[in-house]
Amino acid sequence: MRSSQEQRVLFITPEVFPFCKTGGLGDVSAALPAALRMLNTDVRLLLPGYPQVLAGAKYQYQVFEFKELAHFPPAVLLSARISLNKAEHIPAFIIDCPGLYRRDGGPYMDEYGRDWPDNALRFGLLAKIGAILSSDASPIAWRPHIAHCNDWQSGLTPAYLHFHSGKKAATVMTIHNLAFQGVFPPGSAVQLGLPPASFDINGVEYYGNMSFLKAGLYYADHITTVSPSYAEEIQTEPLGFGLQGLLAGRRQSITGIINGISLNEWDPATDRNVIKNYSSKKLPDKSVNKLAVQHELGLTESPGVPLLGVVSRLNHQKGTDLLIDIAPQLAALPAQLAILGNGPAELEHRLAMLALTYPGVIAVRMGFNERLSHLIEAGADCFLMPSRFEPCGLNQMYSQRYGTPPVVHATGGLKDTVVDCTPQTLANGSASGFVFAPSTADELMGAIKRAIETYHDKKTWQRLQKNGMAKDFSWNASATAYRELYLTLRG
Ligand code: ADP
Ligand code: GLC
């Protein structure tokens, strides 16, 4: 095998923890590059200069000014360092374009949940500069062998590179979620500087519009998904979201690589967001966190009633409606439910009504709250993820590591990372949660009942908790798989 010592990768992403995170992509964009750097791969991030990124990144200096980039406003390229903690740092290029990125609100939407109207331009610029830096047109000396694109926001990079005739990096397009496709009006392709010929079924055209993600999937040298099961699921209806034909046609160029988790951020023995640290050898200490969740959320402070936790974007994908449907049955079990999430007003309203109907039993906190997400992982007895589809999912892995067995629908990464509790899996030591299918309220309720029966059998429950806590969810194996993939693409 050739040495990967000199392997250089530009990791193009719209999010990175701790500065910008709306979901798992933020976590992955920090932890995977950090793990790759441990494997002697020179990974650097390319990020939009949102206010939080500009305020938090260290050692910033200007490396180039894109004064006259056709189709885009002027932008400055900064070099900086993203510190994840005292030990882990990732070099980053930040695109400072005040008119596009320096604004209040989220990375994709304003504070009212409306998409920014100039998203095509905002992420077109990210992809364009990603392509320039990955080619012999780059104004800087550091030149990557691989441009690693993540989700639709960087999907145009492989398209721009395809139409560049000089030397260029190989491209990897990672699908974190096929449901978000970056669809814009047909004229956008030419407005963003792609040749008219690219607006074709064999190109960026997608049912009459243009799609950033389709562009990436069509032009990238290789495609990855964030779990092996999801790689299969997207090649057929309904999880192909209209792209199943293209994906099935490219099946030889698709690899499913399961995400890992950051053991620095998510370790119950060291987590600074929990009230009392614990480990599999000190499991009784976990109950202090349960009382803390009950106290903070206004639930009845009873140690013996099973506490079910949810931390999630609230939407159809995550099965929020299924949770609402079973809530009255849950309350009657009895069990408590603690939900942290954010989503459309209609769902938030329905959840708020549930909390009002079942005071002390169901508690809901809206908004994005990193600290509370860790505390719920630590304090809940069981974690619910009834996602209709889940490309990978991180919380089921956090939950297992925190001794909080998850109840999950058998889909995507949930299926790949949770082992259903049965007499056989208990006997061979692999059981780590409860898996159900299909994704109906009845099946979800059935799995929760199984979980609660097991919960009341303390010895078996502890075995389940310890099995999950002992599993290796580190990035080592997956980062190695990416490094190997990069090497074959360079070849
Ligand atoms: P997705 O990326 O589809 O939202 P993942 O399971 O991959 O799902 O990752 C979700 C990440 O976002 C996890 O780190 C989870 O803890 C976090 N998260 C989701 N909702 C919230 C919230 N309301 N507050 C804090 N963290 C949240
Ligand atoms: C997406 C997916 C989620 C995955 C995350 C990180 O947001 O919905 O399943 O874990 O990306 O890859």
Tens place of pLDDT per residue across the chain (491 aa)? 444 458 999 999 999 999 999 999 999 999 999 999 999 999 999 999 999 999 999 999 999 999 999 999 999 999 999 999 888 999 999 999 999 999 999 999 998 889 999 999 999 999 999 999 999 999 999 999 999 999 999 999 999 999 999 999 999 999 999 999 999 999 999 999 999 999 999 999 999 999 999 999 999 999 999 999 999 999 999 999 999 999 999 999 999 999 999 999 999 999 999 999 999 999 999 999 999 999 999 999 999 999 999 999 999 999 999 999 999 999 999 999 999 999 999 999 999 999 999 999 999 999 999 999 999 999 999 999 999 999 999 999 999 999 999 999 999 999 999 999 999 999 999 999 999 999 999 999 999 999 999 999 999 999 999 999 999 999 999 999 999 999 999 86
Number of H helices, E strands in the chain: 19, 18
Which three-class secondary structure state does DSSP give residue 396?
Answer: helix
Q: How far apart are CA 118 and CA 75, in angstroms?
A: 16
Query: Which of 154, 174, 175, 177 for a ligand 2 pocket mutation test, highest count of atoms within 8 Å of Cβ?
Result: 177
343 lines ligand 1 (CB under 6 A): no
411 lines ligand 1 (CB under 6 A): no
Q: What atom of ligand 1 comes closest to residue 259's alpha carbon?
A: 7
Buried b (16+ CB within 10 A) or exposed e, 148-176: bbbbbbbbbbbbbbbeeeeebbbbbbbbb
Structure tokens at 174: 């990672």
The rounded Å distance from CA 227 to ligand 2 centre is 10
Nearest in space to 231 (alpha carbons), one of 213, 201, 258, 261: 258
In 226-306 the beta strands, taken as DSSP E runs, fall at 254-256
Give nearest CA residue, ligand 1 atom 4. 23
For residue 113, the model assigns a pLDDT of: 86
Which three-class secondary structure state does DSSP give residue 325?
Answer: helix
For residue 314, the model assigns a pLDDT of: 97
Q: How far apart are CA 80 and CA 83, in angstroms?
A: 10
For residue 5, the model assigns a pLDDT of: 55
For residue 298, the model assigns a pLDDT of: 98
Buried b (16+ CB within 10 A) or exposed e, 287-315: eebbbbbbebbebeeeeebbbbbbbbbbb
Structure tokens at 200: 């074709």
Which three-class secondary structure state does DSSP give residue 193?
Answer: coil
For residue 491, the model assigns a pLDDT of: 66
Q: What atom of ligand 2 comes closest to residue 259's alpha carbon?
A: 12
Taking only Cα atoms into account, the Rg of the chain, rounded to an integer number of angstroms, comes to 23
The rounded Å distance from CA 236 to ligand 2 centre is 19
For residue 220, the model assigns a pLDDT of: 98
CB 103 within 8 A of CB 118: no
283-469: CATH topology is Rossmann fold (3.40.50)
Is the bond leading into 423 cis (omega within 30 degrees of zero)?
A: no
Residues present in the chain in total: 491
Q: Kindly report, as residue ranges, where domains of CATH 3.40.50.2000 are found in the chain.
A: 4-260+475-490, 283-469
Backbone angles phi, psi at 205, to 5 degrees: -70, 140
Nearest in space to 389 (alpha carbons), one of 153, 176, 152: 176
Handedness of CA 319, 267, 300, 330 (dihedral sign): positive
Q: How far apart are CA 452 and CA 421, in angstroms?
A: 12
CB 469 within 8 A of CB 403: yes
312 lines ligand 1 (CB under 6 A): yes
For residue 4, the model assigns a pLDDT of: 46
By CB atoms closer than 10 A (0-12, 13-18, 19+), residue 422 is middle
Question: Any idea what the Cα angle at residue 374 is, between residues 372 and 377, rounded to 5°?
Answer: 110
Is the bond leading into 107 cis (omega within 30 degrees of zero)?
A: no
Residues with CB under 6 A from ligand 2: 23-25, 28, 176-177, 226, 259, 390-394, 413
For residue 6, the model assigns a pLDDT of: 80
CB 73 within 8 A of CB 99: yes
CATH number of 4-260+475-490: 3.40.50.2000
Query: Which of 313, 377, 397 for a ligand 1 pocket mutation test, highest count of atoms within 8 Å of Cβ?
Result: 313
Q: How far apart are CA 102 and CA 131, in angstroms?
A: 22
Which residue do the tokens 């919380």 mark?
Answer: 395
341 lines ligand 1 (CB under 6 A): yes
Handedness of CA 483, 486, 488, 490 (dihedral sign): negative
Q: How far apart are CA 442 and CA 319, in angstroms?
A: 13
